[in-house]
Amino acid sequence: MSSQMIIQRLQQVETVMREHDHWQTQSPEANAFASTEPFCLDTMEPLQWLQWVLMPRFYALLESGAPLPQNFAIAPYYEVALPNDTPGYAALLLVLNEFDALFQDAAV
């Protein structure tokens, strides 16, 4: 898996979020990031966590050259966390599954 492929998938996630008005211009309050719950369930909406936590962390991992996760999958969480009638639901899940596939291939 190449860094460029990961960046392309992250950019596709951003594009889908922007197309469906899920992209936010203002980050959550600082204390929202201090959550100890998985996915910051108690302080952020699922799409906020995707934009403000997961995506920046992946960009930081890529920049630092740190090892990337293996057998990583985020799409199953969004299949459950987002209502089916969320604008762009199918498009977002498609891109997230493609993102996940990069990490499944790396483990094989």
Domain boundaries, the chain: 3-107
pLDDT tens per residue, range 39-92:
999 999 999 999 999 999 999 999 999 988 888 899 999 999 999 999 999 999
pLDDT, the chain, mean:
92
Q: How far apart are CA 103 and CA 108, in angstroms?
A: 9
* Res. 29: pLDDT tops 60: yes
DSSP secondary structure letter of residue 27: P
Q: Residue 107's pLDDT is what?
A: 44
Label residues 39-72 b or e (16+ Cβ within 10 Å = b): bbeebbbbbbbbbbbbbeebeeeeeeeeeeeeee
Question: Which residue in 60, 51, 47, 42 sits closest to 3, CA to CA?
Answer: 60
Token digits of residue 54: 């997961």
Domain 3-107, CATH among 1.20.1440.40, 3.40.50.11540, 2.40.110.10, 1.10.357.10: 1.20.1440.40
Q: For 1-108, where are the E strands, in sequence order?
A: none
pTM of the model: 0.90
CA 72 from centre of chain: 11
Tokens 């951003």 belong to: 14
